[in-house]
Structure 1
Amino acid sequence: MDVSLPVELTDQHVLALPQGTDVLALARAWFADAVWEREPASAAPTARPMTGARFRGIVVQEPASSVPGRLAVAGAVLVGPRRLTSDEVRAAGLRAGGALDLYGIEGPATPQVSAWCTAAARHAGGLLVPAARGQVVVPDPNGAPGLTLWSPVPLAPRDVLPLVRPAMVGARVSPTEVPTPAGGVPQECAVTAVFDYDGTVTLRSARSDDVPAVLATLDWREYGPWAYHVRWRPADGEDPESSLSAIARQRVAPTIARVTAALWRAAGGTVVDEGGFLVRPEELTRRSVPPR
């Protein structure tokens, strides 16, 4: 299907996000120096009296106008949002279920910027439209289902196992190469559950000073050095990019979210996805529900 976008976006790569998405927060998750060179602004509707005897005293409201912002991101500039209603999205030939905010990309589409656009679209449920207006790219939201809880609280394997077993049926503690220190708190633990057709979900915890960039946007009390990584890998011999793996990822994604939610309720902290973006508790709850 041909894609038809506003003429102002001609010859530009376009990042399309669900309307109202905080694009600055997404940008700062990767680029600490991302900043609005000009914030987007909407002008208030203007009142205009209608002329002529029959219209005396009647005032109409002119539609509000808007000025797109300019967001500097790693040498490029995102210009927008230009808002499309649900009807306009369908008329444009975009595969999306609701209204969108469009951001044109000025400047070099470096590999770093391109990777961020793909990750941001995956995280937010958006899409990408190349400058050539060819194939629209809709990143699979389950393409990277792993989550990590960054918490100030270390949990021992004996505490972790009963927390995660309701979601990780048949979960077992795996041996680790790191011995338990004299204080009795393990520096690392691993819990694994094998699903007959959907591969393996593994929880690994360890202390780490290598935290994702997005945590620098938070107060230090909102996270900690203990990383609880919940990850999926396909069944032995299965291509991670195959259609069967895509189905398996979709089925295990709620399990990953439920395991992470259980850990968060017990230990507190902040959840980050594989794209390096924050996952708020309400979003974690949404992800925990299996698809219909």
Structure 2
Amino acid sequence: MTPPAPVPPALDGLHVLALPAGTDVVGLARAWFADARWEREPGLAQPAARPTGARFRGIAVEAAPVVGALAVAPGVVLVGPHPCDAATARALGLPARDADLYGLPVRTPAEAQVPAGLLAGWATAAARRTGGGILPADRASVVVPDPAAALDLTLWSAVPVAAQDVVPLVRPALSGSRLGPASVPADGAPGFTLTATFPYDGAVVVRLARAAQVPLVLSGLDWREHGPWGYHVTWEPPDPLQLQAEPPSQQHVVARTRVAPAVARVVGTLWRAAGGTVVDAGGFVVGRAELDERAGAALR
């Protein structure tokens, strides 16, 4: 029996986050940890001075790689990247592609003031966002979150669309569904909830509400690029328990695949009407090109 591929010894005793090679790990980290920064940037150290003398002629002096140290909070540091080729990744149970491996501490010090589970939650969200995976410190298993499982999106905008305007606006994006009237808050405040029910695939709910706080990832953007109004577009599957199932049933996957483009089309329609910035369920910004790709998935 072939033994499992080794993880670099420098990562022993650490959880390992595997991201596709070249992924912007700082951008991912700052979506959850605003002050994330390199304490030590990865790269190549300056090579030592070339030795002189006839007996050293022709000897190449190579620069040694420097492993980075990414501080996401005081006392909480990720170490990496450690390159991993596709064959090794496959042997580890990770997606079979070239990857960058980062070591994460198993426990965060109390003085770091990082809530319990936050770092693990970020690692899971980052792996799902990029199609990566996680090797727990005990190496007893591998976690590969399904990127397709997170289809809910929220548009953060400075402009609230009126309830009476939203139904005709989004109806073309929800073809094949039964679209109910928009319900509004009893106190007459701006906002609405709109439900589109599909015959076999559950429902898409569009809800507009003003938030006291916006996702952390928006703090790095110009204030004109977002606002306090959240257009939350979520999918309610026929069997909600399947959202927690690993793996979900084939019926759930089929329904999710059919509904996902509708979610993206609704958000794209609202974006064109109200402007703003789209954030996914993992707390990461979704750009226009990605949104268009999601919306067109059913057409390919």
TM-score, normalising length: structure 2: 0.82
Q: Secondary structure at the match of 1:72?
A: strand
Which of 213, 216, 224 in structure 1 is aligned with 2:216?
Answer: 213
User: Does the 8 Å CA contact 1:129/1:135 hold for their aligned counterparts?
Assistant: yes
Matches within 5 A, 1:104-143: 104-106=103-105, 108=107, 110-143=116-149
Structure 1 counterpart of 2:288:
281
User: Does the 8 Å CA contact 2:195/2:205 hold for their aligned counterparts?
Assistant: yes
Query: Cα distance, 1:16 vs. partner?
Result: 0.7
Structure 1 counterpart of 2:27:
25
User: Does the 8 Å CA contact 1:198/1:251 hold for their aligned counterparts?
Assistant: yes
Query: Cα distance, 1:227 vs. partner?
Result: 0.9
Q: Secondary structure at the match of 1:30?
A: coil
Aligned partners of 1:283, 1:235: CA distance in 2, in Å? 27
Q: Secondary structure at the match of 2:181?
A: strand
User: Does the 8 Å CA contact 1:148/1:227 hold for their aligned counterparts?
Assistant: yes
User: Does the 8 Å CA contact 1:41/1:67 hold for their aligned counterparts?
Assistant: yes
Q: Secondary structure at the match of 1:176?
A: coil
User: Does the 8 Å CA contact 1:3/1:133 hold for their aligned counterparts?
Assistant: no
Which of 175, 179, 183 in structure 2 is aligned with 1:175?
Answer: 183
Structure 1, unpaired ranges of 5+: 182-186
User: Does the 8 Å CA contact 1:69/1:80 hold for their aligned counterparts?
Assistant: yes
TM-score, normalising length: structure 1: 0.84
User: Does the 8 Å CA contact 1:84/1:99 hold for their aligned counterparts?
Assistant: yes
Distance 1:46 1:287, change over 3 A: farther
Structure 1 counterpart of 2:297:
290
Query: Cα distance, 1:216 vs. partner?
Result: 0.9
Q: Kindly tell me the number of residue pairs found equivalent between the two proteins.
A: 283
Q: Secondary structure at the match of 2:255?
A: helix
Structure 2 counterpart of 1:89:
89
Aligned partners of 1:254, 1:288: CA distance in 2, in Å? 4
Distance 1:215 1:237, change over 3 A: closer
Q: Which moved more, 1:234-243 or 1:9-18?
A: 234-243
Q: Secondary structure at the match of 2:291?
A: helix
User: Does the 8 Å CA contact 1:76/1:107 hold for their aligned counterparts?
Assistant: no
Specify the code of the residue in structure 2 equivalent to 1:155: V
Query: Cα distance, 1:173 vs. partner?
Result: 2.7
Query: Cα distance, 1:188 vs. partner?
Result: 0.6
User: Does the 8 Å CA contact 1:38/1:70 hold for their aligned counterparts?
Assistant: yes
Specify the code of the residue in structure 1 equivalent to 2:120: S
User: Does the 8 Å CA contact 1:47/1:61 hold for their aligned counterparts?
Assistant: no
Distance 1:236 1:133, change over 3 A: closer
Structure 2, unpaired ranges of 5+: 109-115
User: Does the 8 Å CA contact 2:5/2:88 hold for their aligned counterparts?
Assistant: no
Calculate percent identity across the aligned residue pairs: 51
Aligned partners of 1:221, 1:249: CA distance in 2, in Å? 33
Specify the code of the residue in structure 1 equivalent to 2:169: L
Structure 1 counterpart of 2:157:
151
Query: Cα distance, 1:249 vs. partner?
Result: 2.6
Q: Secondary structure at the match of 2:172?
A: coil
Aligned partners of 1:209, 1:23: CA distance in 2, in Å? 28
Distance 1:238 1:65, change over 3 A: same
Query: Cα distance, 1:281 vs. partner?
Result: 1.4
Structure 1 counterpart of 2:230:
227
Distance 1:134 1:224, change over 3 A: same
Alignment deviations for residues 100-132 of structure 1 (CA, whole Å, 9 cap, x no partner): 111011351641211111111111221101112
Query: Cα distance, 1:217 vs. partner?
Result: 1.4
Aligned partners of 2:241, 2:138: CA distance in 1, in Å? 34
Q: Name the Cα RMSD after superposition.
A: 3.0
Aligned partners of 2:297, 2:76: CA distance in 1, in Å? 38
User: Does the 8 Å CA contact 2:210/2:230 hold for their aligned counterparts?
Assistant: yes
Aligned partners of 1:195, 1:133: CA distance in 2, in Å? 42
Q: Secondary structure at the match of 1:96?
A: coil
User: Does the 8 Å CA contact 2:173/2:269 hold for their aligned counterparts?
Assistant: no
Query: Cα distance, 1:233 vs. partner?
Result: 1.0
Structure 2 counterpart of 1:38:
40
